[in-house]
Amino acid sequence: MATKSLLARKKLMAKAEEQLKYLSNGIFKEELPTFKHQLEKINDFPLKPKTLEILQLNLGYMCNQVCEHCHVDAGPDRKEIMTKKTMQQCLEVIKTTKAHTLDLTGGAPEMNPNFRWFVEEASKLGVKDFIVRSNLTIIRANKKYHDLPEFFKKHNVHIVSSMPHWTKGKTDKQRGSGVFDKSIKALQDLNAIGYGLPDSHLQLDLVYNPSGAFLPSNQEALEQDFKKALKDDFGIEFNSLFTITNLPISRYLDYLIASDNYEDYMYKLVDAYNPAAVKNVMCRNTLSISWDGWLYDCDFNQMLEMRVDSPVQHIKDYNEELLQDRSICVSQHCYGCTAGAGSSCQGSVV
Amino acid sequence: MADSYYDPKDLRKFPKITDWSQDLGDKFFDYYGKVFEKGALSEREKSLIALAVSHVVKCPYCIDAYTQDGLQRGITKEEMMEAVHTGAAIESGATLVHATQMMKKYDKLSH
């Protein structure tokens, strides 16, 4: 398993333009319909936003893990971190936005040196649902993070954490050696202070994304399997499981190509294309803000450097009304959000 | 012309069998879909049965399909291999149980 990002290894797929080129050529020149073509068939091109519900802030690409599937290409060697100045600009937007959910992601957002300050300030602004996407192992990574569960509780943070499987082997293969044991310990710590328990208001959700070149199965059935296995084996409880399809970008795209699975995977996504999922794709109710303040339709478009198609492109110029009038940028990676029951940061959408 | 009897890409063409016999093809796929719905058995249990049978009937398309289906459902490789052994045990048992016929015939024809 790699210990450095694609960027540090100077791999071709570290470059957004190379990824987009790869996704637009080959089978999409000759055999398969483009995503734009699918939208045209259902009169949904250009794709337009619906009511804005979620502001997703990427606090930086630095992470204590180097997961095989990571669409951010995050890792300890990534130095892109949101500054306090950009955070202040975000706080100004949070004060006036119509979005009811604030969603902090990374990398490991907790590794941003101003993370706690930002959570304290943002939690004063009356956000209805305040999400932190925590990889769990960060809580056990270093003494300075051991009190994070109490910090999250104090600010009523809704925790969403990745857990690829309920077995050690599959989890460690995707996320690195030792990740399973640390994640289990972190989940037990969170349960101990009330997170994820049936009668508690402290929300703890898990995210499942497949550890390989296949699509996720039914979210409800997988949730039942996860709940039973984690409860029986470790006494762990959680609220909901979100299934997320791996999108063919960054490290996952690199893996698909290297393992000769790219074409089969794209066929699977196109075969599983579900027009009903287009209605609820997350780019229609979300805005993604990068570590350096640029605006995107989603976190995936952020990694592909596809900025919003709007006169307003940076948080310093934020204008919700103008942004809501934009057309959403799409490419073939979007098939990942419309396969089967659909996929989003909140799980399936159909 | 393909130089192999089996081409993994042909699995995607499976629905096209209805082109030459719409009524029977539709009836088959309706039945197939219904069988794999959750019933007295879970979809997960049915997937493992299908994987075992795929090996017994030695269908490479089915093995591809139900290995992938199992992965999607979170079925572990240990569970998959046990399912295949279950199928193999029945298949080899079906061969070996015929040895009783051999033994009976042998004894009848021998002093």
Structural domain boundaries of chain B? Answer: 42-111
Mean pLDDT across the stretch A264-286? 96
Mean pLDDT across the stretch A236-248? 97
Question: Residue B2 has what pLDDT?
Answer: 64
**A217 in contact with B, Cβ within 8 Å:** yes
pLDDT(A173) > 70? yes
With respect to residue A104, please indicate whether it lies within any of the assigned structural domains: yes
The shortest CB-CB distance from B71 to any of A166, A214, A225 is to A214
Contact yes or no for A221 and B68 at CB 8 A: no
Residue with tokens 């690199």: A254
Per-residue pLDDT band at A317 (split at 50, 70, 90): very high
Mean pLDDT across the stretch A232-247? 96
What SS3 string covers A240-274? Answer: CEEECCCCCCHHHHHHHHHCCCHHHHHHHHHHCEC
> Could you read off the pLDDT of A186-204 as tens digits, one per residue?
999 999 999 999 999 999 9
Query: C-alpha dihedral over B54, B58, B60, B66, to 10 degrees?
Result: 10
With respect to residue A3, please indicate whether it lies within any of the assigned structural domains: no
Q: Chain A residue closest to B47 (CA)?
A: A217
Q: Chain A residue closest to B69 (CA)?
A: A217
Mean pLDDT across the stretch A27-46? 96
Q: Which two tokens stand for residue A109?
A: 């957002």
Question: Residue A170 has what pLDDT?
Answer: 81
Per-residue pLDDT band at A175 (split at 50, 70, 90): confident
With respect to residue A73, please indicate whether it lies within any of the assigned structural domains: yes
Contact yes or no for A267 and B12 at CB 8 A: yes
Query: C-alpha dihedral over A59, A60, A66, A72, to 10 degrees?
Result: 90
With respect to residue A350, please indicate whether it lies within any of the assigned structural domains: no
Calpha distance B21→B4 (Å, rounded): 25
Residue A258: give the domain boundaries: 12-337
Per-residue pLDDT band at A59 (split at 50, 70, 90): very high
With respect to residue A89, please indicate whether it lies within any of the assigned structural domains: yes
Mean pLDDT across the stretch A71-100? 97
With respect to residue A342, please indicate whether it lies within any of the assigned structural domains: no
Q: Which of B7, B44, B79 to mutate to probe the A interface, most A CBs <10 Å?
A: B44
With respect to residue A4, please indicate whether it lies within any of the assigned structural domains: no
CATH of B42-111 given 1.20.1290.10, 3.90.1300.10, 1.20.120.1200, 1.10.357.10: 1.20.1290.10
Calpha distance A275→A44 (Å, rounded): 10
Q: Rounded to two decimals, what is the model's pTM?
A: 0.90
Shortest Cα distance, chain A CAs vs residue B23, angstroms: 23
CB B87 within 8 A of CB B52: yes
When divided into structural domains, chain A yields a total of 1
| Domain of residue A311, CATH code | 3.20.20
Mean pLDDT across the stretch A208-228? 93
Q: Which of A199-203, A267-271, B5-9, B104-108 has the lowest mean pLDDT?
A: B5-9
Question: Residue A268 has what pLDDT?
Answer: 95
Mean pLDDT across the stretch B69-86? 96
With respect to residue A189, please indicate whether it lies within any of the assigned structural domains: yes
Q: Which residues of B touch A170 (CB under 8 A)?
A: 76
Q: Pick B2 or A145 by higher pLDDT.
A: A145
Contact yes or no for A167 and B76 at CB 8 A: yes
